[in-house]
């Protein structure tokens, strides 16, 4: 009985505490004042944080550099840094001009050898300059550069199905080419309603949608000594273009190429014997979900007959060293419950990989980026950025030094110079100065995490509050949503540009952004939630996250939650009202890809698979339009070349046929957009009206 009474008392206490928290319900006069203050703060916020970055202009020799700070009232100061001595000297602009203003700084880059989207070919002249290979009337010819009759290698090529994309072997003995069946992409159309004159102007552009055919390539070999074409015994290339060829350095009889199957579930490295046209598969990776093709990294080491590549086959994105002759794994270079983010460079002589990673450090945000180097053998791992922060590193041209900008979204940037050999700090360069920003009354966003749908995985996001919020009131929530599986989107760096989220918050909202399951940069299992399941959009995690936020902060009102987004975020924001209308009450959807069959092929087939099955229809916002609950504003640019405008118009048509009420804003002449300045005003006004219950300013009466 005592336990029951204690439990009853606890529940009653929570109920009374919750009931005492009154909803924030401003008067119209207060809202008008908020609009005025928000406008002033928007302007102030962009020019009140200083020294948050260093753009180093390295000098010849890589031992020194100069950089510039822009201070209050656009005052500029210049510094010269001697990295070898560890000194920093204030100098004049005239001094830096005398050094030269071109920067030789090295920035991190994603070191892909090639693009699988681009057709590969070489110069028409052979490497030894003895022969020329060319296409005439759709057929392949090779002739000596010194003169003589050309040798025809094919006769069945023509304008409709020509040969092409010729590439020489390094020893000039072979030409590789393809019998090509070109496919012309179908067009999508839009009308520029306000381009001038008395008639709208029709525009069109080629646009491949899910299921549309690709140009196909049949691989052939054209031996210079043989005079006859050999068809390579390999599958038709019916996805992407002609691939990069990787010839053996010691024996140009063999080359390899990579093949990604349509549907993104299989990746192969195939070896071709140029002498016989026979093939063998060296590496074959298959998955029941997807291989993230555009993050598939390969690097060939012809000097040692090896290759480096990334794979998620153990559940995390890691680096592997393979024998390029056999395709067998020699070494898993990195391993653990963390992911390789990017590869900066490969040092072949030292057999080292320079890379960035996330999730290796416990007790911190798993999205934070840190920089490392490691040996090909998986040993000698060196952390260049051990401190708890998100890091942005840039190297000197010779990589002897690096500049580390370390920050968190609510912790100002610290910029330091380090020696690469031992990661030792040479000197402090700058500390971001946010005192003027805080003096305006603005707050830094707060990082927040809570358990996801599985009760185990942490879901991370950020929270923006009004500068003058009253913790005794309950404020409606607005979620900035983008659940595109290609990346993660919650900001991690300290910045002065919190932009639209903070601007909306100033009007009386708690504004949040969350990376739910199905987005990238976590484990493979975390990412796989999106597979053939884009309508999920991480909503089960997002809703739990917002409820957890409210459990910690009683001023968060889960009874008044809205969301907004653009593109995939436009799809997601409407999806919130269609599939989770019990939780979300208002949405602003801009240029949404509301039906994945209408949107671009490369993005949608990567996540929704190929062919476009019934799940495409079942998850379409158009198909589910009749489920709409809550208040909706649709926006679309009439000249959107990213997502066809008809995607939004089809939703509008379905909503009308279902008898639903909604607001619709077409934007004449606009491309893919969140609405631009006008649309952002409409978005703020929409949430003020539908979540705060106050009429926004009468702009036609110049109330503001």
**pLDDT on residue 434:** 92
Q: How far, in Å, CA of 235 to CA of 619, rounded?
A: 33
Q: How far apart are CA 628 and CA 619, in angstroms?
A: 14
Best CA proximity match to 477, nearest among 558, 583, 566: 558
pLDDT at 39: 84
Quick check: helix, strand or coil at residue 574?
A: helix
pLDDT at position 355: 98
Residue 42: predicted pLDDT = 74
Selection from 368, 257, 294 nearest residue 117 by Cα: 294
- d(CA 56, CA 352) in angstroms, rounded, equals 25
Q: In what order do the strands lie in the sheet with 151-152?
A: 131-136, 139-144, 151-152
Q: Please, what is the Cα angle at 698 between 696 and 701, to 5 degrees?
A: 165
Interatomic CA distance for residues 603 and 607, integer angstroms: 7
The dihedral through the CA atoms of 562, 565, 569, 574 has a sign that is: positive
Distances from the Cα of 213 to the Cα of 50, 210, 603, 613, angstroms = 52, 9, 15, 16
What DSSP string describes 496-538?
S--HHHHHHHTTT-EEEEEE-BTBSSS-HHHHHTTTT-TTTTT
Q: Can you tell me the distance from the alpha carbon of 279 to that of 176, in angstroms, rounded to the nearest whole number?
A: 14
DSSP class of 299: E
92, 78 contact by CB (below 8 A): yes
d(Cα 634, Cα 652) in Å, to the nearest integer?
8
Domain ranges of the chain: 19-47+437-695, 57-103, 113-287
Domain at 113-287, CATH class: mainly beta
Tell me the pLDDT tens digit for each residue of 412-456.
Answer: 999 999 999 999 999 999 999 999 888 888 889 999 999 999 999
Compute the distance between CA of residue 343 and CA of residue 296 in angstroms, rounded to an integer: 11
Predicted local distance difference test score (pLDDT) of residue 269: 97
- State pLDDT tens for residues 285-313: 999 999 999 999 999 999 999 999 999 99
Closest CA to 161 of 209, 243, 206, 220: 220
With a cut of 50, list the residues of the chain below it in pLDDT.
1-18, 103-113
Q: What class is the 19-47+437-695 domain?
A: alpha beta
């Amino acid at each position: 009985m005592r336990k029951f009474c204690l439990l009853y008392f606890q529940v009653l206490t929570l109920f009374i505490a919750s009931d005492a928290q009154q909803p924030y319900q401003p008067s119209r006069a207060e809202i008008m004042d908020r609009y005025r203050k928000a406008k002033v703060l928007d302007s102030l916020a962009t020019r009140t944080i200083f020294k948050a970055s260093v753009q180093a202009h390295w000098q010849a020799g890589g031992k020194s550099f100069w950089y510039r700070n822009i201070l209050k009232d656009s005052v500029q100061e210049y510094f010269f840094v001697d990295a070898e001595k560890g000194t920093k000297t204030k100098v004049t602009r005239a001094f830096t001009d005398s050094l030269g203003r071109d920067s030789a700084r090295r920035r991190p880059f994603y070191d892909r050898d090639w693009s699988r989207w681009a057709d590969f070919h070489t110069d028409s002249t052979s490497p030894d300059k003895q022969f020329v290979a060319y296409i005439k009337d759709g057929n392949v010819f090779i002739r000596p550069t010194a003169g003589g009759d050309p040798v025809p290698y094919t006769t069945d090529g023509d304008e409709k199905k020509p040969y092409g994309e010729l590439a020489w072997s390094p020893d000039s003995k072979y030409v590789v080419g393809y019998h090509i069946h070109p496919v012309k992409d179908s067009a999508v159309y839009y009308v520029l309603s306000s381009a001038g004159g008395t008639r709208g102007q029709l525009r069109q552009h080629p646009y491949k949608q899910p299921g549309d055919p690709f140009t196909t390539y049949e691989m052939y070999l054209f031996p210079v000594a043989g005079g006859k074409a050999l068809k390579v015994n390999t599958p038709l290339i019916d996805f992407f273009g002609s691939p990069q060829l990787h010839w053996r350095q010691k024996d140009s009889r063999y080359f390899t190429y990579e093949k990604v199957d349509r549907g993104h579930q299989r990746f192969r490295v195939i070896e071709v014997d140029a002498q016989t046209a026979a093939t063998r598969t060296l590496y074959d990776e298959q998955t029941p979900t997807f291989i993230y093709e555009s993050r598939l990294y390969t690097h060939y080491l012809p000097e040692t007959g090896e290759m480096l590549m990334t794979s998620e086959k153990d559940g995390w994105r890691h680096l592997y060293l393979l024998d390029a002759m056999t395709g067998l794994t020699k070494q898993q270079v990195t391993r653990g419950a963390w992911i390789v983010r990017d590869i900066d460079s490969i040092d072949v002589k030292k057999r080292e990989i320079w890379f960035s990673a996330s999730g290796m450090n416990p007790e911190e945000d798993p999205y934070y980026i840190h920089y490392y180097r490691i040996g090909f053998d998986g040993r000698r791992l060196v952390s260049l950025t051990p401190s708890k922060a998100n890091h942005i590193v840039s190297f000197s041209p010779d990589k002897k030094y690096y500049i580390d900008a370390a920050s968190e979204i609510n912790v100002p940037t610290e910029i330091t110079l380090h020696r690469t050999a031992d990661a030792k700090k040479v000197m402090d360069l700058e500390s971001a100065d946010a005192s003027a920003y805080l003096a305006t009354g603005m707050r830094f966003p707060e990082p927040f995490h809570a358990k996801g749908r599985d009760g185990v995985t942490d879901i991370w996001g950020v929270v923006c509050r009004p500068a003058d919020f009253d913790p005794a009131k309950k404020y409606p929530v607005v979620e900035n949503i983008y659940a595109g599986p290609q990346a993660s989107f919650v900001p991690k760096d300290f910045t002065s540009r919190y932009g639209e989220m903070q601007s909306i918050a100033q009007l009386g909202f708690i504004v949040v952004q969350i990376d739910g399951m199905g987005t990238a940069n976590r484990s493979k299992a975390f990412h796989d939630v999106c597979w053939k399941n884009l309508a999920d959009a991480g909503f089960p995690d997002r809703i739990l996250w917002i409820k957890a936020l409210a459990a910690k902060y009683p001023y968060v009102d889960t009874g008044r939650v809205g969301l907004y987004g653009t593109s995939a975020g436009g799809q997601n924001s409407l999806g919130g009202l269609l599939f989770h209308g019990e939780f979300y009450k208002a949405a602003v959807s801009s240029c949404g890809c509301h039906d994945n069959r209408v949107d671009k092929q490369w993005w949608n087939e990567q996540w929704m698979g190929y062919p476009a099955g019934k799940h495409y229809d079942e998850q379409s916002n158009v198909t589910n339009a009749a489920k709409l609950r809550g208040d909706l504003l649709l926006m679309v640019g009439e000249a959107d070349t990213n997502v066809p405008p008809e995607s939004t118009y089809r939703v509008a048509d379905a909503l009308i046929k279902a008898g639903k009420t909604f607001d619709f804003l077409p934007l004449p002449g606009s491309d893919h957009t969140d609405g631009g300045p006008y649309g952002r005003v409409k978005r703020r006004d929409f949430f003020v009206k539908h979540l705060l219950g106050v009429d926004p300013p009468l702009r036609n009466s110049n109330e503001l």
